[in-house]
Amino acid sequence: MSTLLEVTDLSVAYGKIMAVKGISFNVDKGEIVTLIGSNGAGKSTTLRTISGLLAPKSGTITFKGEKINGLQGHDVVKKGITQSPEGRRIFPRMTVSENLDLGAFLRNDKSEIAADYDRVLELFPRLRERLTQKAGTMSGGEQQMLAVARAMMGRPELLLLDEPSMGLAPVLVELIFDTIVKIREQGTTILLVEQNALAALDVADRAYVLESGSVKMSGNATELASNDEVTKAYLGG
């Protein structure tokens, strides 16, 4: 399988605080790869850097063989990477359907956009009932669905999901993870960041365990899920 995203020796700092310290990983086409790790491990920082919201201190990020670190956020979207960010970050004073439209901001293919619109509403029927509601007035779970749906409207080759299950009731968590599997079946590669390590390892092909800015372990998701160290630290076992 061909490598879609390759992160090499990436370091990112906020002022003097090093949040990510030389991590390397890759995501192949068609995979679900998850980054797990406890609070402050540097997971969101990594995703924000891939999306061009932060500039790396050193290291490279290549996407389809092309270097993308140093690109601005909107140019990264053009290359085919979209993100559902931590904390949802939907546009609260716009309606659900306006939010979805913005997800397709860079696209011009009207009929394809309409098809994707139907596709995401099929994945999240709850959103269909609320198309004209102001997004900020929706429940947290509904906002999370909107954030994922909005990121899909960009029809990315690589979808970055930052804690899509955060703060959701168990039924919704299950729904979100089922949906992630479906999205991959429809041909989108996924890099998933999760606190909910058990669920993440369950849907992922491979995983990287981050700890205070470094990759501590990596490998096949099922194997990591049964690894003693991982179980102790992240799966509450």
14 binds, among ligand ATP, Mg ion, other proteins, none (CB under 5 to 8 A by kind): ligand ATP
Q: Which of 51, 143, 165, 196 binds other proteins (CB under 8 A)?
A: 51
Position 43 contacts other proteins (CB under 8 A): no
Within 95-134, which residues bind other proteins (CB under 8 A)? 98, 101-103, 105-106, 134
Among 20, 90, 197, 199, binds other proteins (CB under 8 A): 90
Question: SS3 for the chain, per residue?
Answer: CCEEEEEEEEEEEECCEEEEEEEEEEEECCCEEEEECCCCCCHHHHHHHHCCCCCCCEEEEEECCEECCCCCHHHHHHHCEEEECCCCCCCCCCEHHHHHHHHCCCCCCHHHHHHHHHHHHHHCHHHHCCCCCEHHHCCHHHHHHHHHHHHHCCCCCEEEEECCCCCCCHHHHHHHHHHHHHHHHCCCEEEEEECCHHHHHHHCCEEEEEECCEEEEEEEHHHHHCCHHHHHHHCCC
Nearest distance in Å: CB 87, Mg ion? 9
- Report the residue from 86, 98, 101, 157 that binds Mg ion according to the rule CB under 5 A: 86
- Segment 143 to 172, residues that bind other proteins, using CB under 8 A: 150-151, 154
Span of 15-23, 37-45, 201-209, 218-226 interacting with Mg ion by CB under 5 A: 37-45
- Which residues of this protein are in contact with other proteins, per CB under 8 A? 51-53, 72-74, 77-78, 82-83, 85, 89-94, 98, 101-103, 105-106, 134, 150-151, 154
- Which residues of this protein are in contact with Mg ion, per CB under 5 A? 44, 86
